[in-house]
Amino acid sequence: MAIGIILTLITVNCAILGVSLFMILRDYDFLATLAFSFGAGLGWLLAITAMSGLRKYLVLSKPARLLGEAGVTLVLAGIMSLAFLGFTGMLSG
């Protein structure tokens, strides 16, 4: 079995556990939990889809070949985390 599949499963399980613990700590009611879960799932889908598309494009590009697949993935994860950090506090009062 490829290690990439195992790492993906571990990451998804950590994200699900993190969302569950976040809702328990915030003491959300049922509707808030449902809305937050749907939003978190939609955000995760957006992030993973964008990362896989950009990664496939960058791995095949000429300058990124020197980094290798792992290097491209790490650089892309850093750039995407900075981009999503810009959404922090967007809906707060």
Distances (CA, A) of 21 to 39, 73, 87: 15, 27, 21
Q: Considering the domain boundaries, does residue 91 fall inside one?
A: no
Does residue 92 form part of some domain? no
87 vs 78: which has the higher pLDDT: 78
**Number of domains into which the chain is organized:** 1
Query: What's the rounded Cα separation, in Å, for the pair 76 and 64?
Result: 11
Q: Is the residue at 51 inside a domain?
A: yes
pLDDT in tens, 26-77: 888 899 888 988 888 888 888 888 888 887 777 677 766 677 777 777 888 8
Residue 30 domain boundaries? 3-85
This prediction has a pTM of 0.61
Instruction: Please give the structure tokens belonging to residue 75.
Output: 């650089």
Question: Is 93 part of any domain?
Answer: no
Residue 42 lies in a domain: yes
In a domain, 90, yes or no: no
Residue 59 included in any domain: yes
In a domain, 68, yes or no: yes
